[in-house]
Structure 1
Amino acid sequence: MSLDHLVYATPDLPATVADLEGSLGVRAAPGGRHPGFGTRNHLIGLGGRSYLEIIGPDPEQDPPPDPRPFGIDELTGAALVSWAVAVEDIDAAVARARAQGYDPGDARDMSRHTPAGDLLSWRLTRPQGLVPFLIDWGATRHPAESGLPAAGLVSLTIGHPDPGALTKDLAAVGVFTDVVPSPRPHLTAVLSGRHGEVTI
């Protein structure tokens, strides 16, 4: 398993993109719209096939019938809410996780068009907070391969009140990393840009 992307959700996408540009010195590139979900995103490369997704409401879409993903409708400010790991056979990865006692959910098909009009298609499991969701890009060109503006990922910290239980679930999806004791669950990333390090 390898880090695919971090999800930085916000109730105000333009403001958050501007804030990150001011702190990192890097302007996130427009990604695209998610039809039917009421969201769109901007992207910053994190090195290799990894990136930061900044996702928020899309005012050019009608309000979606269901709540926007990642709890966007309830957010009062930007937050690092989830992350994804890349797999090559998502159905097999789901089966392995279930065999180890963790259910990441069924894989579903997703797609969006880039600003240039290219169609990106992928499959993913449902986001579940600190345990990363699985994503399989299949034959689609990975977004990080499109020359994104770049920042460095210095560290990613996972905090949880019960590190042992979370470590077991992480291992079920092929992630082996330390979990620090914390009174509340959280993800914290440190990024390195032109203006120095920024914690989100």
Structure 2
Amino acid sequence: MLQLDHITVITPSLAEGVAHVRSCLGIDVPFGRAHPDMGTHNHLLRLGESVYLEIIAVNADAPRPDRARWFGLDDQADVRADWDSGRRLRGWVARTNDIDAVLAGHETVLGRKVAFTSANGSFCFAIPEDGSLPLEGAAPSVIDRLGKPPSVAAMADAGARLQSVMLEHPEPARVIALYRSLGIADPPVVVSGERLRYRALIKTPNGLRELT
């Protein structure tokens, strides 16, 4: 079984990502952590008991990794094009306790398992060979924390709570079928749209806000 772990704003720079989330939610999201193995860093915001928001970008001060970065971040021209077109909430991550079973038969879409060890413990993450977003972001990235729950309790809690996630897609039936085949619990609602675009409704101390 897969379930929503976090939603991801993929940004050309952390400053731009934080400013965008502030404009949408009225919340300043604090720094989270660096990812030395991927040459990236993030800001993190708790959105519930086991769900959070990640703002992620390339860390210009970190060495380039020896493999493709996750979330399509090596293609900065594409990241910038999406950003400038208003597609900033670009993906989501689903968690599992058995990543090998999830990837069996789905590696061409989800990628291959990569093992990481960080200050927060060991985990596995599925990354396509070229580092691109799975199915251009319509499919989730997959994480397996090897039996540990997500560390949302340690994240900043500004009173924001995720209400729903919606995906607009030109082929909604295809995406819905994939979600079913993966066994995702409570996946994003998928509707027809001209191009791939996520919208998240988030309850904040400033009222109900939309993050895109």
**Normalising TM by the smaller chain, what interval?**
0.7 to 0.9
Identify unmatched segments of 5+ residues in structure 2.
128-132
Matched, 1:186 2:194: no
Partner of 1:116: none
The alpha-carbon deviation at position 123 of structure 1 amounts to 0.8
Deviations 1:120-175 (A, max 9, x none): 32112124011112211114452213143241112211111111111111112212
Moved >3 Å (runs of 4+)? 62-69
SS at match of 2:72: helix
Distance, in Å, in 1 between the alignment partners of 2:200 and 2:71 is 17
Deviations 1:72-126 (A, max 9, x none): 312233711111111111112223xx28x9752322112433xxxxx33211212
| TM value normalised by structure 1 | 0.82
Kept in 2: contact 1:29–1:149 (CA 8 A): no
Distance, in Å, in 2 between the alignment partners of 1:43 and 1:147 is 7
Kept in 2: contact 1:102–1:169 (CA 8 A): no
Distance, in Å, in 1 between the alignment partners of 2:203 and 2:20 is 15
| TM value normalised by structure 2 | 0.78
Distance, in Å, in 1 between the alignment partners of 2:92 and 2:21 is 18
The number of residue pairs the alignment matches comes to: 192
Distance, in Å, in 1 between the alignment partners of 2:65 and 2:115 is 18
Amino-acid identity (%) = 29
Give 1:86's match in structure 2, choosing from 65, 73, 95: 95
Give 1:161's match in structure 2, choosing from 127, 146, 170: 170
Deviations 1:46-85 (A, max 9, x none): 1011111100122321345666432331223371111111
1:21-170 correspondence runs (5 A)? 21=22, 23-64=24-65, 68-72=69-73, 73-74=76-77, 75-76=79-80, 77=83, 79-95=88-104, 98=105, 103-113=109-119, 119-126=120-127, 127-128=133-134, 129-140=137-148, 142-150=150-158, 151-170=160-179
Kept in 2: contact 1:102–1:172 (CA 8 A): no
RMSD, aligned CA = 2.5
